Amino acid sequence: MVHWSPFVVSFKKRYPWVQLAGHAGNFQAGEFGRLLKRYCECEQQCLQKLMKDTLRPHVPGYYGVVQRDEQDYNLMDDLLADFDSPSIMDCKMGSRTYLEEELLKARERPRLRKDMYDKMVAVDPGAPTEQERAQQGVLKPRYMQWRETLSSTATLGFRIEGIKKADGTCNTNFKKTKHREQVMQALEDFVGGNTQILKLYLQRLEELRSVLEQSNFFRTHEVVGSSLLFVHDASGKARVWMIDFGKTVPLPTPRTLDHRTPWVEGNREDGYLWGLDNLIDIFSSMLPQ
């Protein structure tokens, strides 16, 4: 005789949580498939507004501020909770990863930075100008702008920050992954050549794009340093969420952005949708025609 229990209680499996970017101490495990991220007011404001926006299904659910060991955290959904040994990719969106206000700040009290010059030379000995070479130093704004040209941020409007695959291999060394072919190679490796997963991701990205184009939140914010988190597993599930709103700031009303117009200082455009267009184009071109 089959004995049916009156209800089913499913216990979430325990699994090692994976973090692909940011400082290691910024996250804590929460209960009920939730996650604590070190408090940032800017992010709190964004997540709060996002819970009332059309983008809500495309960001982690947000549950307010909690305290643990005298530290404040934003409590949000753990996006990995419903996956088994997930493969994960963090793609940082936009054609620049600093805010206009950070650039202004970097210009206050201009100082020649020897440390930044050294970092520059270490990556590309040909990068400094003749003058910079003579001074053995660079100004911080110049360094910030140069750094964006190393990866695909400046040329494609997004860059891969990290990839962790189901087999446990993890790569966060994409700082110089710049060209379309290199990006394609990394994506191909991420999906393990699985066309079905690719197709699903493409659908998710197209859907997200159309929601972004309608979103009031998106229209009225400069979205910088935010990522798309890609997650899939062997069951064939594949999803994409927007995460990391620590540098997403409201524009003074009634200003809006289209997120595609090239950035010139003062227009605050972030290239987010331009980057998404490119990402969608790359995913499409990887599928058999």
Does 157 engage in binding with Mg ion (CB under 5 A)?
A: no
Pick one of Mg ion, ligand ATP, none as the site partner of residue 79 (Cβ within 5 to 8 A by kind): ligand ATP
Structure tokens at 215: 């979103």
Pick one of Mg ion, ligand ATP, none as the site partner of residue 128 (Cβ within 5 to 8 A by kind): none
Does 240 engage in binding with ligand ATP (CB under 6 A)?
A: no
Does 225 engage in binding with ligand ATP (CB under 6 A)?
A: yes
Closer by beta carbon to ligand ATP, 18 or else 51:
18
- Interface residue with Mg ion among 244, 269, 270, 277 (CB under 5 A) is 244
Angstrom distance (rounded) from CA 23 to CA 175? 17
Pick one of Mg ion, ligand ATP, none as the site partner of residue 76 (Cβ within 5 to 8 A by kind): ligand ATP
How many residues of this chain interact with ligand ATP, rule: CB under 6 A?
22
Site track 20-59 with Mg ion (rule: CB under 5 A), x = hit:
-x--------------------------------------
Mind giving me the DSSP string for the chain? Answer: -----S----PPPP------SS-GGGEEE-STTEEEEE--HHHHHHHHHHTTSTTGGGS--EEEEEEETTEEEEEEE-TTTT-SS-EEEEEEESS-SS-HHHHHHHHSS---BHHHHHHHHHH-TT-S-HHHHHHT-B-HHHHHHHHHTTSSHHHHSEEEEEEE-TTS-EE---TT--SHHHHHHHHHHHHTT-HHHHHHHHHHHHHHHHHHHH-HHHHTEEE-S-EEEEEE-TTS-EEEEEE--TTEEEPPTT----S-SPP-TTS----HHHHHHHHHHHHHHHS--
Does 26 engage in binding with ligand ATP (CB under 6 A)?
A: yes
Least distance in Å: CB of 98 to ligand ATP? 11
Contacts with ligand ATP in 37-96 (CB under 6 A)?
A: 60, 76-80, 88, 90
Does 227 engage in binding with ligand ATP (CB under 6 A)?
A: yes
- Interface residue with ligand ATP among 86, 94, 246, 275 (CB under 6 A) is 246
Least distance in Å: CB of 126 to ligand ATP? 28
Closest residue to ligand ATP in the complex (CB): 22
Least distance in Å: CB of 43 to ligand ATP? 8
Best CA proximity match to 87, nearest among 168, 193, 203, 27: 168
Site residues, ligand ATP (CB under 6 A): 18-23, 26, 35, 60, 76-80, 88, 90, 225, 227, 229, 243-244, 246
